[in-house]
Structure 1
Amino acid sequence: MLDPLSEVISLLRPQAPYSKLAEASGPFRVRREDVDEVFYCMLLVGRLLLDIDGKAPLELRAGDFVLVPKVTGLTVSSLDPPPPPGLVSHPDFGSDGVARIGRPEGLAETCPEVQQLIGHCSFASPDSELLMSLLPEMVVVRGEGRLATLTALVRDEARADRPARDVVVEHLLQVLLIEAFRSKTQSEATPGLLRGLADPRIGQALRALHHEPDRAWTVLELATEAGLSRSAFFTRFNRIVGVPPMSYLLNWRMTLAKHMLRSGGHGIAEVSNRIGYGSTSAFSTAFARHVGRPPARFAKAIPAAE
């Protein structure tokens, strides 16, 4: 059966425009207000305080990984010792690509008190806002060594000048995101796809829905997949995933439809059939209502817009 999490992340098409190793010694406070992308950080040495705008400050220790799908501003500061009021630190970038605070390049014998792998990535999918709404607002994983390895591989490949680098980076990022999202995290309280998949009842219905998006699903049929009554399933799905089951199904079908229409390899009748509409006219009406224009006009506009 198709794995919904892998499918969503594959459709997002992650790209890595920026990845670096950062080291610091002594008190520091670095402020960024120009991120506006997915942010991830793997702490390798020491402790630090990560304060993301709109969220509670988070203490990270060596071995911790944090990923936030949508970030605008953030502050990273030392804990041992804490920075004095008003301190604003500016990293220096060495010839080796490492960002350093409080330790000039060349003093290799001095071990940094804090060392972290930091990256930003973006999603190439035009439907990234919709797809990201299915994912948690924050992922925090403590002590998972596989994430450190994957983060280092992403950084090394992003900085290399090798054939097919972009393709390799995209696939590495997909693996990194999947590994992070499927790990036991503090984000399980956030409604969305990941929490739904973790639920033994709702997860069954979600996997069935993704496996057969062309099936004429009803709430009762999905409830049967979940082993629940219709009313219990509806309430539980809405609470755990954050939207009613039929709204989730419609959003997913339209996401698949737009993806197929953009590819240019599928006619409207084929798309209609593959996402479960009995007629092209019914699909066109639903698509226009959801997207804002009929599928024929949507497909025709793609070459000029993209």
Structure 2
Amino acid sequence: MKKILLWAMLLLPVAGICQQQEDKGSTVGLYELHLNEVMAFFSKDHVDSAEVIRDLNTLNTILNKDIGEEALMKEIGALDMVKDSVAFVKLVTTKPAALYGKKRFMQVQFVEEHPDSYVSLYSLETNEGMYSAESYALAYSKLSDRLKNMSAAQGIRDRITALKKLSLSGIKAPDFTRKDQNGKTIKLSDYRGKLVILDFWGSWCGACRQSHPHLKELYDKYKGKGLEIVAVANENVHGSKTPLDTGKAKWLAAIQKDEANWVHVLNDEGTGAPDIVKAYKVGSYPTKFLLDKNGKILLRITDCLNIEIDQMIKSILDK
């Protein structure tokens, strides 16, 4: 049971989905891309399969490199799921996601280093979450004309157009007023002068909550240098009609359980205040914005493994 759970954590730690592998003692093949999926992506184009296989093997060799998976398997294997339950849960909800994020970033690097590879175009299509709207458009712009002229590239161009409409980068962040988790009335504009991560999440969202340990690390590292996190929870997602008291109780319990000790507000607190989620055009969770010290939106990301916010915070506050 423990091995199957571990493989699930290593394979898709955010989605929590896995397929049981034949060799439970190895991490080889955990992250690799598959030829049939790549070729299906190019079904409307004429591509050289030998070239695809060559480049796919190159990328899979990179992705299958052990960057800590085997050590993690041993570390988790040494724990008793019952006696060491707290340590076990903490371990499997932090380290596997971090490793998975590094593997996905390896794909980002591959695309940058191989601008004329069919595999780069496929990776850009399937690894969109590791980019902001701006960096996604930039990565596409650096691809060769050969790739850009393919039918398979049209979906990426369409996505770039859609992302630009949602990014809101460069505009003043819409202000809002809410009561925080302690009952104190706060306004987003109260935090002018600080770098702010605006985090849209929900107690029901596994990927959102798996990002909390990393947010905690960022907060502990940079709050003394001017970083604040303001989290907006949506407890009525996809048209659900969760009673306000129920949603609030789940929200407060998740904050406490995850030790997410920063500023939290509810999108719907029952006061009839303007909808924050709609103001920021949020349709998926988690979605995070980084705001500068004047309240201007610097970037938006929609994947908890995207590290662009980390990189920007470091460039601004580590001086």
Task: Mark yes or no: TM-score above 0.5.
Answer: no
User: Greater CA radius of gyration, 1 or 2?
Assistant: 1
More helix by share: 2
More strand by share: 1
TM-score, length-normalised on structure 1?
Answer: 0.30
